[in-house]
Structure 1
């Protein structure tokens, strides 16, 4: 628990970069932002590895100088925020980072989806990591978090589907497909949600849209797994692009 006079640091990396002290935004230079973001995402780092990561195109001497200047600004303008030893740097343990909270939420979902609060699908859907940053190390973390978000959303959708909560299941599946429209596993869950709710027209539209995008962007067709849901039409002639799959009739008949 915070004691009298203690400071509360909050670091936001999802959606956009922002640092707050006791609820008030704090202005931070872009170089200092990059140092802080790297330590928040990657944990404690040696000065040498951090300077090489952040300034890969600079000489070792120049990169080290850039880091020293940035650390000086942080330690003097943001007291009790950064721990700096002779060789290593890390954020104070009490700094609240939204990136960590989203990772904990995903871990809770994978452990037991039944324990997470309503609205978790919306939180995962909007958890883009530093979307306007294009450093290689940031892109790697963006892709890793996106994969975890997708796994979490699919787990939620499958759980709600089993529980018969079709509205929440559809919301989670829609969130996953909007993040990655070409992800077959998410599209299959979305189709199941529509079919379980009796929304055959919605399932048809979703599948046709997915099939078209898959063909345009990757030049491939949906896998055979969709046939289990959409029932391939029996015919003695090769099916056309529009008739390869048909939905089961009402009542589940083929």
Structure 2
């Protein structure tokens, strides 16, 4: 048996789906399903069903809804004994991994740990499975009281965070084409999420679409101004300037290409920058900026931007040899 709450409320059995009955019966089951194996008291169910003014018949009504659900479960051999009554409430005797919201939460935690360890491909694999469990808004069509409303809001926020983490893993592993449509869909529903705007800009710029990255910034700026009356956060502004800087550097390189040393050994040939290799060629000149450290650069720049102008800022970069630290110039 599997219980789905990420979308409409569904109890999936090997023989089909269970009949759940009236809207208030669905609310009772939703409370039990989101607390698998735990006792949910009659008082808690009354507060969820009638948060303002419960009727005098509230307690017997709750017991009727629960009894109807229990009979529905008992019509299926595999589900008999799943819903049990105790002195002051009810318990749904299922394991957490039989309810999809709990599977999602477990997978999201696992993926975050993998991401933090730098195992981006494995993190993306787990996140794809976790995000794929959502078939629509949590408990769609079920009347929600205060507890379930708070639970669905928290779960939706985790869904957005998981989606952004998946997009981040794709961008970091060179799969921008997968990240862009997912981020656009997310922002169509949640246009004020600056973290998603930042990821979309990075993805577009990384795949060479400068115009698209600039348009993504302008879209974020317009939404934030219109809805909140604020400018984009420092990270978005810094990335926007970095895109302009990269474009100016690219134009300068095209206008004045570097000369390279001929392998013929001609003494009059101009000497290229860099270190000599063997008897003829020269390595390219050293890079003038960090490579492949976009996230770290954005964090450093953001921290710098937050410091008062009268204060000097010093960042220390540490790491073992070969880890990617910049080489000091002589």
TM-score tier (shorter)? 0.7 to 0.9
Report the equivalent of 1:28: 20
Distance 1:148 1:118, change over 3 A: closer
Task: Pick the aligned partner of 1:100 from 102, 110, 122.
Answer: 102
Report the equivalent of 1:236: none
Distance 1:83 1:251, change over 3 A: farther
Helix, strand or coil at the partner of 2:132:
helix
Map Cα deviations across residues 58-98 of structure 1 (whole Å, 9 max, x no partner): 44752211111111111122122312211232212158222
Map Cα deviations across residues 40-63 of structure 1 (whole Å, 9 max, x no partner): 124421222222222223447522
Work out whether 1:73 is the aligned partner of 2:68: yes
Q: Superposed, which structure 2 residues align to 1:48-87 within 5 Å?
A: 48-59=43-54, 61-79=56-74, 80=80, 81-87=82-88
Q: Conserved in 2, the CA contact under 8 Å of 1:166 and 1:193?
A: yes
Structure 2, unaligned runs of 5 or more = 75-79, 116-120, 253-330
Q: Conserved in 1, the CA contact under 8 Å of 2:8 and 2:142?
A: no
Report the equivalent of 2:197: 187
Distance 1:159 1:82, change over 3 A: same
Task: Please provide the CA RMSD for this pair.
Answer: 2.9
Counterparts of 1:143 and 1:84, CA distance in 2 = 29
Task: Pick the aligned partner of 2:171 from 146, 157, 161.
Answer: 161
Helix, strand or coil at the partner of 1:11:
strand
Task: Pick the aligned partner of 1:37 from 30, 55, 61.
Answer: 30
Counterparts of 1:94 and 1:226, CA distance in 2 = 43
Q: CA deviation at 1:246?
A: 5.1
Work out whether 1:199 is the aligned partner of 2:209: yes
Larger Cα-atom Rg: 2
Distance 1:39 1:253, change over 3 A: farther
Q: Compute the TM-score of the two structures, normalised by the length of structure 1.
A: 0.79
Paired residues, number? 234
Q: Conserved in 2, the CA contact under 8 Å of 1:12 and 1:19?
A: yes
Task: Pick the aligned partner of 1:150 from 160, 172, 196.
Answer: 160
Work out whether 1:16 is the aligned partner of 2:18: no
Work out whether 1:129 is the aligned partner of 2:138: yes
Distance 1:159 1:165, change over 3 A: same
